[in-house]
Amino acid sequence: MKKKLINNWGLKILAFLIAAFTWFIVVNVDNPETTRQFSGIKVEVVNSDIISKNSAKTYQIVGEDTVTVSVTAKRSIMNKVDPRNIVATADMNDLQLRSLIPIKVSIKNISDIQVKATADPVNLKVTIEDEMKKSFPITPVSKGTVRDGSILSDMSVSPESITVRGPKSIIENISKVTAEVDVGGLYEDTTEEGELFIYDNNNNTVDQTLLRTNLNSNPTVAIKLLQGKSVPLKINDSLVMAAEGYNIEEVKYEPQEVQIVGEKKVLSSIEEIYVPAGALKLEDLKERTDTTIDVTPYIPEGAELADKNAGKIAVAISVSPLDAKSFEIATNAIAIKNLSDDLQEKFEKEVDIEVQLRGKDDVLNNLTLTNKVSIDLKDFKEPGTYNVPVDLDLPDGVSAVAPVQVEVILEKK
């Protein structure tokens, strides 16, 4: 019996098949095949230099450069799949119809035998066009606000220009290149690394991954700050003259103060900006007059306007006609000055002198000439009868309509 069992190969083969089938069933029940999708896998273009090797051409990806990858594998293998290890490549050597590159997917550390990975879409779409390069100036641009009391004076960038290479359609549409720095809170001169931005003609930023430049790093921006101070303006308006019969009512100017910048020790010595009379010289005014003066030449040395365009000051001059009023002056109320010791005076007529004065109505109504009328006899040394000018001590804005004289008789004592 024992010998029969040992020599029965048919039973042995049947037992092996039953064991293998049992193992297959167990494995597939405990370790089934599953499928997972991984989105946002970036496609890497390889061997892209073959486009520009023989001619000045370049490529541009049309649409998205990411794909969704479907992975099918046993559950034990799937547990090892990490999206960071999924590699999607488009080999420019496989370019079809000058626009489509098949996308191949592999997973690091897992063999292709153990998994099946496919990309959606299956092709990367590109356009082939002429390559172009062009140089652009780099403009420094600030964002943020410097600390109170400081003013952003100047910015300079290094290097001053950049050479950009890429598809002709993109290069031709570039309008400007900037290096942006954040000046928020700055209070002294410094140098910062600028963030490079490239803009198209619609002022949209250009995707720099589509371009190549001659820069190995971001440009640097030198930032110069000055201290700021607001100081009042003082404008001498003594040469603003009204025509006869008119009065300058008011001279107003705006702004009444300006913002200046400079070194701190210079600013500390500046209390006002004085504008001399020669800067505002106007005569024979009969009506309101508006003009401007430039205060830039009168900024003290070592300082300057914070805004170089803020030097124009608007001046408004109000002019009005004067009122006239008659006053009578008794001759005995006229003070005598500088009479020679050997002479004595008397008036030809002991009558009141009439004087017409012009000025603002409210001033004239409150005006009195007591102790404000005199004659000066210093130039009269011989006896005789003379017409002598009468001197009137009048307040500002009041004047005589016509010169006033009085007839005086000088006699020997």
- Answer for the pair 131, 57: CB distance below 8 angstroms, yes or no: yes
Residue 362: name the closest of 317, 333, 329, 395 by CA.
395
Torsion, Cα 188 194 200 202, to 10 degrees, reads -40
List, for residues 295-348, the tens digit of each pLDDT value.
Answer: 999 999 989 888 888 899 999 999 888 788 888 888 888 999 999 999 999 887
Question: Regarding beta strands 86-91 and 33-46, do their DSSP bridges make them parallel or antiparallel, or are they unpaired?
Answer: parallel
CB atoms within 10 A of CB 337: 11
**What pTM did the predictor assign?**
0.48
Residue 410, classified by CB atoms within 10 Å of its CB into exposed (0-12), middle (13-18) or buried (19+), is: buried
List, for residues 23-48, the tens digit of each pLDDT value.
Answer: 555 545 567 889 999 999 999 999 98
| Average pLDDT, 10 consecutive residues per value, the chain (413 residues) | 56 65 56 90 90 77 91 91 93 90 92 89 91 94 87 91 92 96 90 96 91 93 88 95 86 92 86 95 92 94 87 91 84 91 84 83 88 93 92 89 89 88
* Residue 18 structure tokens: 């039953």
- Answer for the pair 252, 315: CB distance below 8 angstroms, yes or no: yes
